[in-house]
Structure 1
Amino acid sequence: MISKDCFFIVVDSTLICWDFQAHKQYEMSTAHAQRLMYLIENPGCVDQACAIDQALISAGVVKVDQESTEAWGWDVLSRIYHFGTKNIPLEDVPVDETAWAKLYLEHCESLWQKQVPLERQHSGAESGIPLPSRTCEGELEKVLLRRSTVREFLDFPLRLESLAKILQYTLGFVDERELPESCGLPDAFRKRRCSPSGGGLNSTEGYVLANNVDGLDKGLYYYEAASNRLLLKSVDIPQLGALLSGQHFANNLPVGVFFTSRFDKLWWKYEHSRAYRNALLEVGHVAQTFQLMSTSLGLGTWLTGALCEKEIEPLLKLENAHEQVLFFVGCGYASGEATPESLRELAR
């Protein structure tokens, strides 16, 4: 049978086979393309003695054994994007913070070889409407001004009470916002968080990496929003940088949260792949709430989507095949530096 993890696209008059799960691309000859079309129409005619069939099998385009793929509730567009951007292979994963700093600096220096994107320019003929200048009178404005991404955290523990408050306002259900029974919704759908949720489904879940929290053993916990408690998932946790594409400056973060999305919840209400955007947008809203709550408590925050999913997922012990990890946000007492000392030293 033909692999469900491949799609085909024409690039510069050449047919390309793209295996989005394995992150590999193959240029197909006329003979290979014609043979593949034949096998699509005649799946039982694979001949392992045929050189072309051998090549297609070796590349994973043709499967000899039955594929065991989980059902996907949306159409193929979102499946290609999700798995095509997951478990991205890295040629040179940094083993420590110094190695990360060298690679990152090389990357930044390479950017100057490309034209810098310009800000939008408007002609003088457009007069526009002047707006009043902003003011900073309320507490929210002050928190927004203080929020910034930092990459240098102090080796100082976080209080359990602080973590509890952050989790409750980020992922917990707020009694004051719960919809009344008279609305006709089941109990599970009447609950509300402080952040917007696509369809009110609360499809975002949180797994807390407790690295240095007073009163809490080191480990990875699932935050159960309904009961406001932590459930231990894993205790043997590698360094955080190994889970986040070698970003080892985050190793001493006292706490962080891996955000996942329950795609099956979204599938239940929204059948089109456009709802995949809802999963990403909701995680973004929740992550911002996490940052604002952390900032209000005097903590620095850092966030990343550079995940090593194949290393992270076994630690989360996900019970649902349709729950996928999408993002990470951490917080702790910080120096306020946007760049870690290792990178500043190289830059000097």
Structure 2
Amino acid sequence: MKILVTGCAGFIGFHTAQRLLARGDEVIGLDNLNDYYEVSLKEARLAQLRWQASFRFHKLDLADRAGMAELFARERPQRVIHLAAQAGVRYSLQNPHAYVDSNLVGFMNVLEGCRQHGVEHLTYASSSSVYGLNSSMPFSVRQNVDHPISLYAASKKANELMAHSYSHLYRLPTTGLRFFTVYGPWGRPDMALFLFTRAILEGRPIDVFNNGDMQRDFTYIDDIVEGVVRTSDHVASANAQWHGATPDPSSSSAPYRLYNIGNHRPVPLLRLIELLEQALGRTAQKRLLPMQAGDVPSTYADIDALQQAVGFSPTTPIETGIPRFVAWYREHYGVSESFPKA
């Protein structure tokens, strides 16, 4: 199978490409290596992929319409796993145009490439942030998600709508995956676990928003990748039971599907910090702050639909995942395990 993986130097894209290469697929990797966070980490991930003969890399921006059209025409992938995006809820408050360029214009270019070249299946990253002001837990793909509270969330909701239009008009099979707080080795430096680890090791206080009264459905990267690959292999189909009088948002009369992909075990933020302190052997200095704009107090994934479709079931508890992340962080950044406790 020849598979285009966009965002291959990103956290989830890198791990997904590794998994596909390990099972014998040919992977076409795309990334623009932007400086949203440290480029050296992206290059280090990419270096893990470049040595493999069945991997080819294209440095390209999703918003480059001509470049994207040329890439699809030259490579003609059978399937596409679209994981590239301008990430981050908080950054969308500072630089909204980056989200339009990457998440809207870029996604349009991906859809057109898939349509023009007969791609079998487009699997793409959505986000748990689309649930916005919803407060009914656990979040279900059958719930209404029309009240996003950040531009990032709105751009991901827009991706789902754009994908449906292409599934309906051109019968392009599309599957959107709403990711829930992904963490693990090679993670993103803008995410809480990475920020906390770096601050604690440097003896700096950590920012704990909403005075710590938050919980997240932290999902380990290996579980996420298992769900992504299984979903890509399970080509989206139309729901024969779907009816416009009682529309199910997660499916359609077109070959279109939406799934949550999470751990299904929400964890209080203070429990995450406790486990991180144990793994690091240090006590965190906590700076309690109010809730940030665009943030939500809780996330919790209902994954029944994904379990029924592809048999996905997460297996990594946070008690296992956090020590694995800490071990990777120490190795990657050369941080000794023997240091004085604060």
TM-score, normalization by structure 1: 0.23
User: Quick check: which one's helix share is greater?
Assistant: 2
